[in-house]
Homo-oligomer: A and B are copies of this chain.
Amino acid sequence: MKTSLRVAVVGCGYWGPNLVRNLVATPGVEVGCVCDLEQTRLDDVARRFQVGRTTTEFERVLDDRGIDAVVLATPIPTHRRLGEAVLHAGKHLWVEKPLAGSVADAEALVNLARDKNLRLFVDHTFLYTPAVRKIRELIASGELGDVLYLDSVRTNLGLFQEDANVLWDLGPHDLSIARYALGRSPSAISAVGVRHYDGAAENMAYLTLRYDEKLLAHFHLNWLAPVKIRRTMIGGTRRMLVYDDVEAVEKIKIYNEGVRVEPGDLESRRRTLVSYRTGDVWSPHLEQTEALSAAVHDFATAIEEGRATGSDGEAGLEIVRMLAAAQQSMDQDGGFVEI
């Protein structure tokens, strides 16, 4: 990047300082301002990183002519209001996932960004991991054959969010990965969830995405699990794949195995003949790049080059549509909801 991009980070809770750390480490990017309601958080960030200045007033960010783009790491219900203000101020917008808490809010942001011709980036960070990029490539190239299912488990003893249930907190990860990797959209979604603590949100949920008669995706999302699991299995007609994000190396393994089914005959008294094929396992080398760095780089160059980012508002909107359908199913006890 030739010219320097000056960004402001709004919201310095859990995730904000990580964003600052990655932003200042990206050549060509400067953090011109950090904003939060709590002064102590601002002081902590300023003591550690090279940030231009800090403020507790969001208006100061909007007024700052030197700021090109704003990164929103604030609660989901604030995304639309704050995001619209940023866009109206003529600045590019980076929103932490999900884009918004409702389809209407998400659409409003997408439309406004388009009208203003500004970049709207939704931080589905996993799309920038070497692992997820490799999976998309393996599927697109036909390496796995026809995809038969995608099964994902994302559990941990996680932080009970205040502004979202487990579906809206963890769901964007798996929905965005499935959307990106499969390159397809489901026709219907079903979800079941449980709220184990009165007054708190749903802390575990199972989602089923139906694509067609032969392709299903299923997610297990859980904030109340004793172990951290982040594993996705993808079955294909030619090969199968396991993506285990908890592994430091060998995150992806490709299994050269499967079954072959042939019509049976009368003599064998079998309806069908199924034969097994087991083979080698292969783990492709993945780059060691940090996903957040790659996302920052994409955002910055997209702004410079006037092109769309790899995780733009349309993508973010589609994820919100799926979340809303899943929520509707969950509220009505699990039947499939068409999208």
Contacts and interface: CB of A to CB of B under 8 A. Distances in A.
Interface string A141-181: 00000001101010101011010000000000000000000
Interface residues of A, number: 74
Residue with the highest number of chain B CB atoms closer than 10 Å, among A197, A256, A258: A197
A220 to B, nearest CB: 7
Contacts of A204: 149, 216, 235
Copies in the complex: 4
A21 B21 CA distance: 10
B334 A258 contact: no
A49 B248 CA distance: 27
A267 interface: no
Interface stretch (A61-69, A101-109, A269-277): A269-277
A261 B160 contact: yes
B220 A192 contact: no
A327 interface: no
Contacts of A25: 48
Contacts of A284: 280
Interface of A: 21, 24-25, 46-50, 148-149, 151, 153, 155, 157, 159-160, 162, 190, 192, 194, 196-200, 204, 206, 208, 213-214, 216, 218, 220, 222, 224-228, 233, 235, 240-242, 246, 248-250, 253, 255-259, 261, 263-264, 270-272, 274, 276, 278-285, 333-336
